[in-house]
Copies of this chain bind each other. A is one copy, B any other.
Amino acid sequence: MKSSAGYDLTRLLCGSEGTLAIITKVTVKLHPIPEHTAAIVLSFSTLFQAASAVTTIRQLGISIHRCELLDALSISAFNQYNQNTINMPLLPHLFLELSASTSLSLNSHVQMLQDVLDDQHYTIIQIKYNDGERRTLWSARHQLYYATLALRPGATKAIVTDVCVPLSAFAKTIQQSVDLIQSHDLTAPCFGHAGDGNFHCIFPVKLDTYNNTDENDYIERVHKVYDIMIRNAIDVGGTCTGEHGIGYGKIKYLEMQYGKRAVDLMRNIKKSIDPLNIMNPGKVVSLK
């Protein structure tokens, strides 16, 4: 509910990763489920074109409920995982979901989308309006984690990166990340919650050989690449974490992103609310 009464404690506690409070009760605001929805899968000649299309689509002002980008390697992982019973073209894809209150409205938005993308070298793979068919379409996206593990025999978990950049820098940044991964001789599908400028790369890890020297070297290379990705994201005004949080691992990037004075402010807030440092100590901000 709209309010201007006092400091916004809700927003302060959201995303504080248990370092300021334990949430024991939540009241949520419900939004109406849209009456009409269309899932659309598009392929593009290049990753850059797919990512640029997102900016174009967002500028239309139509209601896009989901906007996910998958690179060609993600599609390849998906095809292999389904033992080639599904054969999506090995190109970068956009998975979109549009919604509207009337079917007339929805159809006119789908048409508008096709019109504006006209010069962006896309191919419509599928458009689905039916609930069940939409769900099938999205399975490619939802299976991606396990499909990626299957790319590297022996992998049982993965290091998943998470940076987010302004939409204007999205196409350049995701292309840069894919190039970076290749130049370090690594294999990692990249996909994004593209509507937000947020994307992830999945590096499969062999957990059972975690103490194996080869794997340690591999993990070290992954973290080196990830470090560069984060610095690149911050350089273009982005964030070191779009949705996974700071935890222990990203404490060092917080100051790089916001500057010392902002982190000092966070530290003061932490100390004033949790003077004994008993709430998830050591996470988000170091008190030293």
Contacts and interface: CB of A to CB of B under 8 A. Distances in A.
Interface of A: 1-9, 11-12, 14-16, 20, 31-35, 59-63, 100-102, 104-105, 107-109, 111-112, 164-166, 193, 196-198, 237-246, 250, 253-254, 257-258, 262-263, 265-266, 268-273, 284-285
A257 B9 CA distance: 13
A105 to B, nearest CB: 4
Given A8-B11, A32-B60, A105-B100, A2 B269 contact: no
Given A5-B239, A164-B2, A61 B265 contact: no
A59 to B, nearest CB: 6
A272 B193 CA distance: 37
Contacts of A6: 246, 254, 258, 262-263, 266, 284-285
For the complex, would chain A's binding face be called helix, strand, loop or mixed by DSSP majority?
loop
A111 B265 CA distance: 52
Contact of A269 (B60, B239, B257, B273): B273
Contacts of A166: 1
A15 B253 CA distance: 28
Contact of A2 (B1, B63, B107, B198): B198
Contacts of A35: 61
A3 B240 CA distance: 8
Given A35-B61, A268-B273, A272-B271, A3 B102 contact: no
Contacts of A244: 4
Contact of A239 (B3, B61, B63, B273): B3
A17 B164 CA distance: 30
A7 B164 CA distance: 17
A102 B105 contact: yes
